[in-house]
Amino acid sequence: MTTAIYSHPDCQRHDMGDWHPESPARLQAIADQLIGSHINDLLEHREAPLVDITDLERNHSRNAIGIVRDNVPEEGDTYPIDGDTSLNAWSWRAAQRAAGAAVAATDAVIDGEIDNAFCSIRPPGHHARPKEPMGFCLFNNVAIAAKHALEVRGLQRVAIVDFDVHHGNGTEEAILNEPRVLMVSFFQHPLYPYTEPLPITDHLVNVPVPAHTKGDVVRKIVTEQWLPALHAFKPEMLFISAGFDAHREDDIGGMGLVEADYAWMTQQVMEIARLYAHGRIVSCLEGGYNLSALGRSVVAHVKALADL
């Protein structure tokens, strides 16, 4: 297996303040754990390019793009988008790199240059709605990549797997009327963004769970609800919104997952990819705010992707 890590120093320059849990230290924690686990040298490291604006426009309105691009403050200042989300002088650039990583990884996987990829990027994306940023997220990296796979690369069916503790409301909104995309997820409910769960359909299997849910319950959801939907849909490529804030050590949520659960979920997704998608997977970092748990969980996820 050839697994690539996509990242860029610009992604660490986006900074919403020392108080903010979505901090530049998250990417450093991941990098440190990849080195400490002795798998870093077994991975291919690629630099995230700047996204093409046309890729952003497939998922976001011009106004949503303008909110980020046109409000970048001077060095040392911040621009508030909402109570949880703000811009600094590097935010536009970082958001371009994050979305660019997802698109570039998609192309590289489809072209057979690599088997799969993990994008160690920020800002995250799955709360970003088509018409506005929200919830730490500026652009929806996974939705942008999925639409690139469909509209530019000509795939007919793609799936998005979201295991962040929060509901990926922006992703759900982006694909709600798109039958070529299947989205499967679990999410703690009630919890930010406080959206009400939608009925399960042939291309939407987003399952709410209560606080304190542990890995055994999540594995049952994957086995009994995600996997049958994925087998029926037969995606030609899979995208993962890889949030690690459902970990038992992460105080932003209240769930009880551990590293082994993330490895197991990744292995299930990989088996679907082997059966229907030539192994094609692109995973993008979403949440995960306890730095130690985040780094360890990413290592478990990437080891599974790389079959190590």
Active site residue ranges = 127
CA-to-CA distance for 116 and 186, rounded, in angstroms? 23
- From the list 11, 181, 236, 28, the residue with the least C-alpha distance to 102 is 11
Entry field: residues in the chain: 308
Who's near 5: CB < 8 A, 6+ residues apart?
34, 43, 44, 45, 46, 117, 118, 119, 120, 302
E strands present in 25-123 = 44-47, 79-82, 85-87, 116-119
Q: Where are the beta strands (DSSP E) in 221-292?
A: 238-242, 281-285
Tokens of 245: 């804030």
Burial of 17 (0-12, 13-18, 19+ CB in 10 A): exposed
What tokens does 110 get? Answer: 């489809």
Residue 94 and residue 250: Cα distance in Å, rounded? Answer: 25
Reduced to 3 states, what is the DSSP secondary structure of residue 9? coil
Calculate the alpha carbon distances from 110 to 86, 104, 116, 198, 297 in Å. 34, 10, 9, 32, 26
Contact 281, 114 (CB under 8 A): no
